Amino acid sequence: MTVNLSSFIMPLAILLILLIVSAWLIWLERRLLALWQDRYGPNRVGPFGLAQVIADMIKMLTKEDWVPPFADRAVFVISPAITMVTILSAFAIVSFAPGISVASLNIDLLFFISMIALNAYSPVLAGWSSGNRYSLLGALRATAQMVSYEVFMGLSLMGVVALTGSFNILDIVEAQRPLWFCIPQFFGLVVFVIAGIALTHRIPFDLPEAENELVAGYHTEYSGLKFGMFFVGEYLNVILISSLITTFFFGGWLGPVLPPLAWFIIKTFVFICGFILLRASLPRPRYDRLMALGWKIMLPLAILNLVVTGSIILASGY
C-alpha cells in the first residue's frame, strides 16, 4: 500500500470544510427562518451577524459539561460521538466533483446506508443512558422512526441502482448525463427526501426531540460540547442528505458552463435551503401517523417504484 501526502490532505480538508460549513449553517438557518417569519434574526455580532456562531461556540465550550449522577456514564459520553463519527464517515463516499472525494468503493451506496443505520444508535443510547423518562421516550421514538425509515430509504435508492447497474457513486453520476434521475425515478426521489427528513429528525419529523411534550427528547440531559455535537451532527446530516439528493437524483456535479464543484455546491445549497423552508412551514405530525405514513404509503410506493423500474428495464432489454 502506497500512502502519499495528498491522500491525507484531501480527507482532512473535506472534514474541516464540512465542520465549518455545518457550524455556519446554524446561522444560515436562523437568518432564513427570520426572513420567512418577517423578523431580523441574529444580525448584531459581526457583518450580517456572521460571528454569532463564534459567540455561540465560545458559550458552548465554556459551559459546564455535566454528566448526571444517575446516567450510565460511559454510554452517555460516547453516544454524541457516534452521530459525528457515522455521519462524517458517510461523507467518505460523497463525490463533490471528479477527483474530490475521500474514497470510491464498488459498494459506495451500501456503505452510506450502513453508516446511516449505525447512526440510529446515537439517539437511542443517548436517551437510554440519560436515565430520564422523557429521554427514554425520545429514544424509543427515535429507534422506531429511524429503523423504519432506513428501510424505505434503502428501497428508494434501488431504482437508481437498477438504472445505473452499479453501487458506485461515480457510475451513478455518469449515468445521469443524458437525463437526471429525478424524472425517471420521481417516486424514488419523493420517498428518499421524506425518509431523509425522518432520518435527520428535523422539524416535520422531529418527534424524538419534540420540545413541547418531551422537554428536548433524547438530548435533554446533555450540555456543553456534548450537546454541541448533537447540534452540529444534525446539520452535518442535513448536508449529507442534501448532497446525496443532488448525487442520486439531480446529476451530481454535472452541468453546463460552471465548473463541476460549483454545480455541486449550488445544487446542494438549494436542497439545504429546502430543508430549512420545510422547518419554517410545516407542523409536526402525530407519532402514530408518522409510522402509519411510513409503512402504509412509503413502503408500497418504494416497492412499486422498484417493480415498475425493473419491468421497464427488462422490457427495454438492456
Partner 1 sequence: MNTLFFIAGTMAAVSAGIAIFQRNAIHALLYLIVSFIGLGLVFFLLGAPFAAVLEVIIYAGAIMVLFVFVVMMLNVKGMWYEEKGIFRIGAFIGPALLALVLVIEVFYVLWSTPAGTYPLTMVGPKKVSISLFGPYALAVELASMALLAGLVGAYHLAHRIGSAAGKEEDGHE
Give the residues lining the site for partner 1 (CB under 8 A).
1, 72, 74-75, 105-107, 110-111, 113-114, 117-118, 120-121, 124-125, 128-129, 136, 139-140, 143-144, 146-147, 150, 154, 167
- Compute the least distance from the CB of residue 24 to partner 1, in Å: 31
Min CB(143)–partner 1 separation in Å: 5
Nearest to partner 1 of 127, 228 (CB atom): 127
CB distance 299 to 155 below 8 Å: yes
State the minimum distance, in angstroms, from the CB of residue 207 to partner 1: 16
Q: Which is nearer to partner 1, 120 or 229 (CB)?
A: 120
Closer residue to partner 1, CB minimum distance, 248 or 250:
248
**Which one, of 252, 237, 242, lies nearest residue 100 by Cα?**
252
Neighbours of 60 (CB within 10 A): 18
Which residue, 125 or 232, is less far from partner 1 as judged by CB? 125
Least distance to partner 1, CB of residue 76, Å = 11
* Gap between the Cα atoms of 148 and 289, Å rounded: 13
3-class state of residue 100 by DSSP:
strand
Q: Of 143, 126, 150, 142, which is closest to residue 230 (Cα–Cα)?
A: 126
Q: Closer to partner 1 at the Cβ: 15 or 78?
A: 78
Least spacing, CB of residue 278 vs partner 1, in Å: 26
In 3D, which of 237, 78, 96, 211 has the Cα closest to residue 153?
237
3-state secondary structure of 56: helix
C-alpha pair distances (Å), 192 with each of 150, 185, 227: 10, 10, 28
